[in-house]
Amino acid sequence: MSLYRQLLIAIFLSSLMALIGSITSSTLSTRDYILEQLRVKNQDNASSLALSLSMAAQDALKVELAMAAQFDSGNYKLVRFTDPNDKIILEKKAPDQSTGSPLWFSALLPMEIPQGNAKVASGWTQIGTVTLESQSSYAYESLWKSTMRMTLTMTLTALLGMMLGYFIILRLKKPLNQVVNQAQAITLKRFITIPEPKVPELRRLANAMNLTVKRLREMFAEEGKRLEIFRKEANFDGVSNLPIRQSFITQLQESLHTEETIFGYCMILRINNLDGVNKKAGRKLLDAAIEAIGKSILMHSDKMQDSLSGRLNGSDFALLITNDKPLDTAKSIMKVVVDHLGGYSKKGDCAIMGLGRYKKNVVLGELLGGIDKALAEAKAKTNNAIVVVKEEAEQNIPKTSQGWSAHITKAIKERGFKQLSYPVGDFKKKIIHREGPLRMRSLVENAWIMAGKFFPIADRLKLTPKIDLVAVRLGLDHIRTNPVITRPDGTKKTYSTMPGFAVNISSVSLGSRSFVGELKKLLSQHPNEANRMWLEVPEAGAFKNIKQFRLLIQTLKPLGVKVGIKHFGRQFDQIHHLHDMGADYLKVDAIFIRGIEKNQGNQSFLKGLVQMAHGIDMLAIAEGVLTPEEVNVLKGLQFDAMTGPAVKE
DSSP states of 471-536 as a string?
Answer: HHHHHHHHHHH--EEE-TTS-EEE-SS--EEEEE--HHHHT-TTHHHHHHHHHHT-HHHHTTEEEE
The mean pLDDT value of the chain amounts to 84
Rounded Cα–Cα distance for residues 395 and 471 (Å): 25
Nearest to 368 by CA among 316, 314, 324: 316
- What is the model's pLDDT at position 292? 93
- What is the model's pLDDT at position 637? 94
More confident residue, 494 or 173: 173
CA 507 to chain centre: 18
pLDDT exceeds 60 at position 58: yes
Rounded Cα–Cα distance for residues 177 and 206 (Å): 11
DSSP states of 324-372 as a string?
Answer: S-HHHHHHHHHHHHHHHHGGGSGGG--EEEEEEE--TT--HHHHHHHHH
Q: Are 451 and 437 in contact (CB under 8 A)?
A: yes
- What is the model's pLDDT at position 490? 59
pLDDT exceeds 90 at position 308: no
> Among 123-127, 148-152, 183-187, 510-514, whose mean pLDDT is lowest?
183-187
pLDDT exceeds 70 at position 488: no
Rounded Cα–Cα distance for residues 304 and 419 (Å): 25
DSSP reduced 3-state for 646 = coil
Per residue, the 3-state secondary structure of 522-540, as one string, reads HHHCCHHHHCCEEEEEEHH
- What is the model's pLDDT at position 17? 87
- What is the model's pLDDT at position 75? 77
pLDDT exceeds 80 at position 342: yes
Confidence of residue 483 (pLDDT cuts 50, 70, 90): low
pLDDT exceeds 60 at position 486: no
By CB neighbour count within 10 A (0-12 exposed, 13-18 middle, 19+ buried), where does 119 fall?
middle
pLDDT > 70 fraction of the chain, expressed in percent and rounded: 93
Can you tell me the mean pLDDT for 261-272? 86
- What is the model's pLDDT at position 259? 67
Rounded Cα–Cα distance for residues 218 and 235 (Å): 25
Rounded Cα–Cα distance for residues 582 and 188 (Å): 8
> Among 194-208, 308-322, 464-478, whose mean pLDDT is lowest?
194-208
> Among 50-64, 290-304, 336-350, whose mean pLDDT is lowest?
50-64
pLDDT exceeds 90 at position 562: yes
What spatial distance separates the first Cα and last Cα of the chain, rounded to whole Å? 47
pLDDT exceeds 70 at position 489: no
By CB neighbour count within 10 A (0-12 exposed, 13-18 middle, 19+ buried), where does 345 fall?
buried
- Tally DSSP H helices, then E strands, for the chain: 20, 22
List, for residues 106-121, the tens digit of each pLDDT value: 888 888 888 889 898 8
H-run or E-run covering 266: strand 265-271
Cα-flanking dihedrals φ and ψ of residue 353, to 5°? -140, 145
Q: Indicate left, alpha or beta for 81 from its phi (over 0: left) and psi (-120 to 50: alpha).
A: beta
Tell me the H-state helices in 59-191: 60-73, 103-108, 137-187
CA 412 to chain centre: 30
More confident residue, 292 or 365: 292
DSSP state of 290: H
> Among 93-107, 178-192, 622-636, whose mean pLDDT is lowest?
178-192
DSSP reduced 3-state for 38 = helix
Can you tell me the mean pLDDT for 509-516? 86
By CB neighbour count within 10 A (0-12 exposed, 13-18 middle, 19+ buried), where does 463 fall?
buried
> Among 123-127, 190-194, 303-307, whose mean pLDDT is lowest?
190-194
- What is the model's pLDDT at position 585? 94
Tell me the H-state helices in 256-320: 274-281, 283-303
User: pTM of this prediction?
Assistant: 0.67
> Among 74-78, 183-187, 275-279, whose mean pLDDT is lowest?
183-187
Confidence of residue 636 (pLDDT cuts 50, 70, 90): very high
Q: How far is CA 218 from CA 181, 221, 224, in A?
A: 21, 5, 10
- What is the model's pLDDT at position 521? 93
Domains, the chain, with CATH or none: 3-160 (3.30.450), 245-388 (3.30.70.270), 401-642 (3.20.20.450)
- What is the model's pLDDT at position 467? 92
Sign of the dihedral through C-alpha 553, 555, 561, 567: negative
Confidence of residue 484 (pLDDT cuts 50, 70, 90): low
E-assigned strand segments in 530-627: 533-538, 562-568, 585-588, 619-622
Residues 6+ apart with CB under 8 A from 126: 84, 119, 120
Confidence of residue 26 (pLDDT cuts 50, 70, 90): confident
Angle formed at CA 144 by CA 139 and CA 149, multiple of 5 degrees: 130
Confidence of residue 497 (pLDDT cuts 50, 70, 90): low
Nearest to 31 by CA among 113, 125, 133, 151: 113
Highest mean pLDDT among 143-152, 163-172, 310-319: 310-319
- What is the model's pLDDT at position 393? 58
pLDDT exceeds 80 at position 3: no
More confident residue, 69 or 552: 552
Highest mean pLDDT among 55-59, 134-138, 385-389: 385-389
- What is the model's pLDDT at position 337? 92
